[in-house]
Every structure is written in structure tokens, then in C-alpha cells.
Amino acid sequence: MIRDDVKALVQGKNFATISTLLPSGQIQTHVVWVDCDDEHILINTEVELRKFKNVQAEPRAKVTVWDKKNPYVFAELRGRVVETVTGSDARVHIDSLARKYLDADYPDELIHSERAILKIAPDSQIVFASGMHDIRR
């Protein structure tokens, strides 16, 4: 279950990072658009990109979402990619994200391989606000 305070950050026009593990064991982090449902953090990517390949080999991921108006307010979620969704659902989702962040559909010419939604089930959720933190899990 995604906490309400986390949902509030995710559903805003706020950016996130996703950190995954490279085959070497080193950490790779990308700035991404973010979404959620009641149970998962949703990240849309392409199947040919490194972050997708990383989670196929090692499903652990960390997502941080920060409030663009106050970056000292942020949520950190650690969990696992429990499902990937491809096909038309992933394409519809990237258009939805583009409308959220850009007020327009995602341009076809920017798609180089099949779109995929990474569904991340959080093992832990921590919200930090204005230097004070709330570590309810």
C-alpha cells in the first residue's frame, strides 16, 4: 500500500529518481517521471534502456520523489520491481505522464524501443519534511 503522504508527492508534478544496480554491483540513478497506483510506484521506461535491463537482472530499486516547491520535502521508497507491463498499456501510460509533466502527449519520435511500466512494490516508505522526518514504515 502506498501511503497517502507519498501519493500526494507522486501525484504532484514532482520529479523522482530511480536507483538500480548495474551488473558490476555499482548503483545507477536516473531522474524520471513518476506515477503510482494504490500498491506500486510506477516508472515508465524503454526495454532497451539500462535501468530496465538492471531490474530484469536484479529487481531491487530505490525511488526518491521530491517536492519541486520545497526539495527538503521528499519521500524515499525501497522495494522490488514485481511486474513489468509492456504494449499499448505502457504507451498510454507514457502519454499520461507526458500530459502531467509537459501538457502534451509523448512524441513518437522519442520512442526508440518498446515502452514498459516498472511496478515497484515498496518494502519501506520514508517521508522527510522540512528537516524533520517521519520514519513510519
Provide the pLDDT for residue 106: 86
H or E element that contains 10: helix 4-11
Provide the pLDDT for residue 108: 78
CATH of residue 117's domain is 2.30.110.10
pLDDT single digits (tens) 26-49: 999 999 999 999 999 999 999 999
Provide the pLDDT for residue 85: 98
Provide the pLDDT for residue 137: 45
Residue 2: which of 32, 34, 59, 40 has the closest Cα?
40
pLDDT digits (tens), the chain, 137 positions:
999 999 999 999 999 999 999 999 999 999 999 999 999 999 999 999 999 999 999 999 999 999 999 988 999 999 999 999 999 999 999 999 999 999 988 877 788 889 999 999 999 999 998 655 554 44
Are 66 and 12 in contact, with CB atoms under 8 Å apart?
no
Determine the Cα–Cα distance for residues 65 and 89; give it in Å rounded to an integer.
23
Q: Which domain holds residue 72?
A: 4-134
- Phi first, then psi: give them for residue 88, nearest 5 degrees: -65, -30
Are 68 and 14 in contact, with CB atoms under 8 Å apart?
yes
- Phi first, then psi: give them for residue 96, nearest 5 degrees: -60, -45
Domains contained in the chain, number: 1
